[in-house]
Structure formats: C-alpha cells, structure tokens
Amino acid sequence: GQNIDQPTEMTATEGAIVQINCTYQTSGFNGLFWYQQHAGEAPTFLSYNVLDGLEEKGRFSSFLSRSKGYSYLLLKELQMKDSASYLCAVVDSNYQLIWGAGTKLIIKP
Amino acid sequence: DTAVSQTPKYLVTQMGNDKSIKCEQNLGHDTMYWYKQDSKKFLKIMFSYNNKELIINETVPNRFSPKSPDKAHLNLHINSLELGDSAVYFCASSPLSLAGDVETQYFGPGTRLLVL
C-alpha cells in the first residue's frame, strides 16, 4: 500500500528552527509537495521537490532524498504565525496526490 | 478576488437529508477536485474533473455525486446524509493536468458539514 508518515505534533520556540520530517512509500514518485494549513483554513502551497537536494524559499526550505524516500521541511526564525499543520503529499506513478495526515506545529513564546 | 470559493462555509443538517455544496474557481484552471478531511486530518481525494469530465472517482459511496456544469464549477451533491459524512469538504483546482505534468493545487476555504 501507499504510506506517508509524519510526526503528529511538534513544539518549538519563537525564533528557533524546526525540522518536520516526512517519509513515504508509494507506487512511483513524481514529486513531493509541502502545504501549510492553519486551523479552520484551507491548505496553501509551500513547496514542490522532484529532484534530490535542498530548495530554499525565504525562511522555509524543503529537502528531498528519493533514494531514502524522505523529505523534510525546515522552518527558520519561527514566528507565532507559523503555528499550523504542515502536510506532506507525494505524487505517485498515476500522478495522484497521496497525502500525509499532517504535523501540527505549536510555537511557544 | 477569491480564487477558489465554496458555499456554504458551514452546513448543519439532519441524517437522511440531501444537500449540495458548490465550488467555483476563477483561475481559468482545467482540473477541479473534491477532498474530504476527517477528524484525523487526512485529506482524501473523492473526485477529480478535467474540463467537465470525470477523471478520478475514488471509492466513494454513490450517495455522493459530483456535477460540473462548466470547467469553472464543480458541485457536490450528497443524498441520504449519514453521521459519518460529517467532515470538512475542500474543493481545489489546478491548471491542465496531463500525464507527465505535476501542477500545484489551490484549495477553497472548505465546507464544514455536521450531520446530526
């Protein structure tokens, strides 16, 4: 079967750095998305990786290792507004999105 | 200015009723989706339409019927609502999705359905 694993919840301090991991086992791979979802709101696009390596976009970076079936989202200089759920989603061989359950990130002052 | 809009935002109804949720996108996208997000926060694809044609139909009870009058609209009709249908339903859209293309999906604000 297809599987996406993320930690259920993480806590970090304002101003710090946090890394949210995602491991996947899917039938084929055509890229990996990270989405941010604030409570009660819609998911919004953060990043898309299809090649190995790190992609940096401001305070957020996303890393991919296809051989390890592994990705992480790195958030720097955490702000209170970063409190949200972070969803990992993999595009499988049929170009369908397989979603993880998300990681709820709690930021403390 | 809203890119993907859904109505209603909240829907509280009795078991056994029939209800519809509407979705519209003004992004000029060719593909639209319906997702169900349950209490465990899993996003599950229900349907996908490309240019008014059904391309994904996951294992969903046939009480759920999508209707796409044009490529900017994808409505979801639910018959004989059950308690287990309570969830948040998200509509999403993406540009033309062909084999070999991966496109970002843009989500609507969600419809919170509560069946009593």
pLDDT digits (tens, 9 = 90+) for B8-65: 999 999 999 999 999 999 999 989 999 999 887 788 999 888 877 787 777 788 999 9
Give chain A's mean pLDDT.
94
Chain A residues close to B102, C-beta within 8 Å:
30-31, 48, 50, 91, 95
Residues in B touching A95 (Cβ below 8 Å): 97, 99-102
* pLDDT tens per residue across span A37-87: 999 899 999 999 999 999 999 999 999 999 999 999 999 999 999 999 999
| Residue B102 confidence class, pLDDT cut points 50, 70, 90 | confident
Checking if the pLDDT of B98 tops 60, the result is: no
Residue A10 scores a pLDDT above 80: yes
Q: What is the pLDDT of residue B23?
A: 97
Residue A18 corresponds to which tokens in the numbers above? 């946090």
Q: Measure CA of the first residue to CA of the last residue in chain A; give whole Å.
A: 40
C-alpha distances in angstroms, B27 versus A39, B90, B101, B106?
25, 16, 18, 9
| Cβ count within 10 A of residue A78 | 19
